Amino acid sequence: MVAHWLVAVLVRLSKLDVNATARVFAAAAADPHSRSGQLGSGREDILVAWTVLGLVLAVLELTAVVARGRFPGIVDLVRRATRSGMGRWLFVLAWCWVGWHFFVR
């Protein structure tokens, strides 16, 4: 079932029309309350966005593993960012903001 969903997401991404996306954003800027020109349901768009983000993170991590230390991995970047107290606070605040805006709603 997961493989079927992933294939469906990849097919949708391959059929993404950049000009249609630009028209949607232009229509939304002209009338933010208009429902016309939407790409899909909000749930589908969010799932596509999270899938793309996950794929980007996976490619970055695989690049770090294959490069054998020439590029930092995701864990290395998080460790470097959270070394100081200010970095930890910013990380926690960013984590709370992401959680509130994407998961609570």
Question: What pLDDT is stored for residue 48 in this prediction?
Answer: 86
What residues have CB less than 8 Å from 39, skipping those under 6 apart? 20, 21, 24, 45
Instruction: Calculate the CA 53 to chain-centre distance.
Output: 3
Q: Percentage of the chain surpassing pLDDT 70?
A: 60
The residues spanned by each domain of the chain are 1-68, 72-105
pLDDT of 53 higher than 60? yes
Calculate the average pLDDT of the chain.
76
Burial of 12 (0-12, 13-18, 19+ CB in 10 A): middle
Q: What is the pLDDT of residue 83?
A: 94
Q: Which residue has the higher pLDDT, 22 or 59?
A: 59
Whole-number Å distance between alpha carbons of 51 and 8: 11
pLDDT at res. 1: 47
The closest of 68, 76, 11, 71 to 44, measured between CA atoms, is 11
